A and B are shown apart, each in its own frame.
Chain A
Amino acid sequence: NAGVTQTPKFRVLKTGQSMTLLCAQDMNHEYMYWYRQDPGMGLRLIHYSVGEGTTAKGEVPDGYNVSRLKKQNFLLGLESAAPSQTSVYFCASSSIIRDFSYNEQFFGPGTRLTVL
């Protein structure tokens, strides 16, 4: 099992360019998440998905769009990159919650994005 993988690992963009980050998981998890990590701020949730074809906004969704066309993939798009989006992006996935059990999230290795 590869777990959660992210593509690419590094990327440099110019302001105004667009790009898509790909997250893939092979654990058959229903839930998937995109976070950004900035120094001194921990991880903040951008968007998440509770199943194929459904997405929802997290804490900091502005400037990002997502799609979950296949259960195993969760794409994060930046339509017009800004320097404020320079960050490390982490994808995570978790299995469905039953009987109010806990929600352990498994994380990918991250994508380091720089916007000039």
Chain B
Amino acid sequence: AQSVTQLDSQVPVFEEAPVELRCNYSSSVSVYLFWYVQYPNQGLQLLLKYLSGSTLVKGINGFEAEFNKSQTSFHLRKPSVHISDTAEYFCAVSSTSNDYKLSFGAGTTVTVRA
């Protein structure tokens, strides 16, 4: 089984400042990793994913994440946030075997202030 820990439940940040959201996972098998974003009163959208290959993955809206196998981490970053980035962000993991289930972290709420 896999599990995900998001280390920050709330992250306040000023507009145009950088932001980093931390995610650590636990698994005994190889994994795929995902970041989803949930804007207020909406469903989840895929922000980016790590499947294999380059450990630095780029997603939509200027976000990127780095997979670190030795530290079992998949932290999300954006160099300069906008007001519109205010949302809840979820890290998720699934095994690379024929297991179709995602395990989600508890979420990090990002609030961007002017």
Taking Cβ atoms with an 8 Å cutoff, the residues of A that contact B are: 4, 31, 33, 40-45, 48, 50, 58, 90, 92, 94, 97, 100-105, 107-110
Pick from A40, A45, A90, A109: contact of B101, CB below 8 A: A45
Question: Do A110 and B100 form a contact, CB below 8 Å, given A42-B107, A104-B49?
Answer: no
Q: Are A4 and B43 in contact (CB under 8 A)?
A: yes
Docked CA distance A94–B100 (Å): 9
* Chain B interface residue count, Cβ-Cβ cutoff 8 angstroms: 25
Most chain A Cβ neighbours within 10 Å, of B4, B6, B44, B104: B44
Counted as pairs of residues, one from A and one from B, with CB atoms less than 8 Å apart, the total is 57
By a CB distance below 8 angstroms, the chain A residues around B51 are 101-102
Asked if B46 and A43 sit within 8 Å, CB to CB, the answer is no
Known: A40-B9, A41-B106. A100 touches B97 (CB 8 A): yes
Q: A105 and B97: CB pair below 8 A? A: no
Please, how many angstroms separate the alpha-carbon atoms of A34 and B105 in the complex?
16
- Which residue in B6, B41, B46, B90 is a CB contact (below 8 Å) of A104? B46
Q: Are B43 and A108 in contact (CB under 8 A)?
A: yes
Cα distance, A101 to B106, chains bound together (Å):
26
Q: Is the CB of B43 within 8 A of A97?
A: no
Is the CB of B98 closer than 8 A to any CB of chain A?
A: yes
